[in-house]
Amino acid sequence: MQGFNLLMIYSKDMNQLLMCKRLKNPYKGLSNFVGGKIENGETSMEAAYRELFEETGILKEAVTLHHLMDFTYHMNNCFVEVYAGRLKKDIDISGDENILYWSDLDKNFFDMSLYAGEGNIGHMIEQVKMFKDKIID
């Protein structure tokens, strides 16, 4: 079963969330979290930090990731691990795989015409709100 990850990166002051506008399918044109494929031979956490750096330039030292939840898609023979973290300081982000931007948190993240994941992005954000003290250091 192939593994993937999604990375919910909050700004230092927790008032914005790092998003990307997808340039290719799946979900081309929709906003999503950054993330990617877990490669053979690497741990899930290693993959999360690697993908974070590859897609945004954010180093491991800039954020502590917390494993939030998993989604298993048996019919697609894959699973998705979701990590959340808050930046320790303000940093510049850069990437060319997708268009990166900081989103305010007052958006309707359940709007499937704007956000990938069939409403899961909204669900993940609500989970962080519920457990923020345990998840975000």
Mean pLDDT for 41-63 is: 97
- Residue 46: pLDDT band (50, 70, 90) is very high
Mean residue pLDDT of the chain comes to 95
CA distances (Å), origin 75, targets 2, 3, 63, 79: 12, 14, 33, 10
- The whole-number pLDDT of residue 7 equals 98
**Predicted confidence (pLDDT) per residue in 74-91, tens digit:** 999 999 999 999 999 999
pLDDT beyond 80 at 137: no
DSSP track, 43-84? -HHHHHHHHHHHHH---GGGB--EEEEEEEEGGGTEEEEEEE
Tokens of 15: 């008032």
Query: Which position has the higher pLDDT, 135 or 129?
Result: 129
Q: Which domains does the chain have, with CATH numbers?
A: 2-135 (3.90.79.10)
pLDDT of residue 132: 86
pLDDT grade for 97, boundaries at 50, 70 and 90: confident
Task: Give the percent of the chain with pLDDT over 70.
Answer: 99
Tell me the mean pLDDT in the region 115-137.
90
